[in-house]
Amino acid sequence: MAKKTTSLYGKSQNNDRTRMNESMYRQMPDTLAIREIKISGKVTTTTLLNPKEVTRKEIGELYTERWLIEVDFSFIKTVLQMDILRCKTPDMVYKEIWVHLLAYNLIRTVMAQAAHRYNLPPRTPEFPRHVTAVKCI
């Protein structure tokens, strides 16, 4: 039996095992087939092997969508200062999260309306400036 040389999920930076207990790890196959795709000069990998089922273009679009979601989370945590939840009870933490998401969606709605008015793309890297402008109102 071939020795597993790579963990499916690997190890986190602080050397703790992530997402998988020992039993799950032992059940993993010795090898894993992956598909490498070069999109806009960057290589991404996937376990979706059949290019007829999922095209290179579709994977690129999914990657872009995922990237935008990560950027949105980053903005919510940093610009809207949700990196630390300040409430003490589960009910209030729940409300705090929803208030931040509401504020984010309101700001994005105003930005989309302004972009539409001036024939600009609704996603712009100037989000922090818009937040500052809204806070001043």
Q: Is 124 within the bounds of a domain?
A: yes
Q: Is 74 within the bounds of a domain?
A: no
Q: Is 112 within the bounds of a domain?
A: yes
pTM of the model: 0.58
Tell me which residue of 60, 105, 51, 62 sits closest to 80, measured CA to CA. Answer: 105
C-beta separation of 112 from 122 below 8 A: yes
Confidence band for 8, pLDDT divided at 50, 70 and 90 = very low
Q: Is 90 within the bounds of a domain?
A: yes
Q: Is 115 within the bounds of a domain?
A: yes
pLDDT tens digits, 17-30: 467 778 888 888 88
For residues 37, 39, 42 and 44, what is the CA-based torsion angle, rounded to 10 degrees?
-30
Residue with more model confidence, 36 or 134: 36
Enumerate helices (H) and strands (E) in the chain, giving the number of each: 4, 2
Q: Is 15 within the bounds of a domain?
A: no
Q: Is 50 within the bounds of a domain?
A: no
Q: How far is CA 133 from CA 10, 120, 126, in A?
A: 43, 18, 11
Containing structural domain, residue 123: 79-136
Q: Is 107 within the bounds of a domain?
A: yes
Confidence band for 87, pLDDT divided at 50, 70 and 90 = very high
Tell me what the mean pLDDT of segment 96-102 comes to.
94
Q: How many domains does the chain have?
A: 1
The mean predicted confidence, pLDDT, of the chain is: 79
